[in-house]
Amino acid sequence: QLQASGGGSVQPGGSLKLSCALSGSTLDYYSIGWARQAPGKEGEAVSCISSSDGGTYYTDSVKGRFTISRDKTKNTVYLQMNSLKLEDTAVYYCATARFCTGVTITTTSFFDHWGQGTLVTVSS
């Protein structure tokens, strides 16, 4: 089971840190991804972190601004979002991923079990 939290409202240029807590298993077994869905748009895979080596991948629109990380002791994955833009406004979801490579974040099709979303609103 996945529990996402940390969403909120922020001005452009601001920062937020999302958390995704995994229960019932450990991060040793699951790669974890973040996806988002903006109003009226299709879901977009944003980032993922590999269970095996902690490798990370990002969609182009967030590279250099978002950082995914994990704390195995807390069984939690984080998404640090900096320099937020208006277009980052969306409901953000975390999910288990079958694997985490550059292919994973080209589509949400490789995400399996989804947590509930957390809303991120960027507005001035």
For residues 82 and 99, what is the distance between their CA atoms, to the nearest angstrom?
A: 26
Q: Which residues, at least 6 apart from 3, have a Cβ–Cβ distance to it below 8 Å? A: 20, 21, 23, 115, 116
pLDDT tens digits along 109-123 = 999 999 999 999 999
Give burial (CB, 10 Å; 0-12/13-18/19+) of 117.
middle
pLDDT in tens, 52-101: 999 999 999 999 999 999 999 999 999 999 999 999 999 999 999 989 99
Backbone phi and psi for residue 101, each to the nearest 5 degrees, phi listed first: -140, -175
Confidence band for 102, pLDDT divided at 50, 70 and 90? confident
Average pLDDT over residues 7-34: 95
pLDDT value of position 98: 87
52 vs 49: CA distance, rounded Å: 9
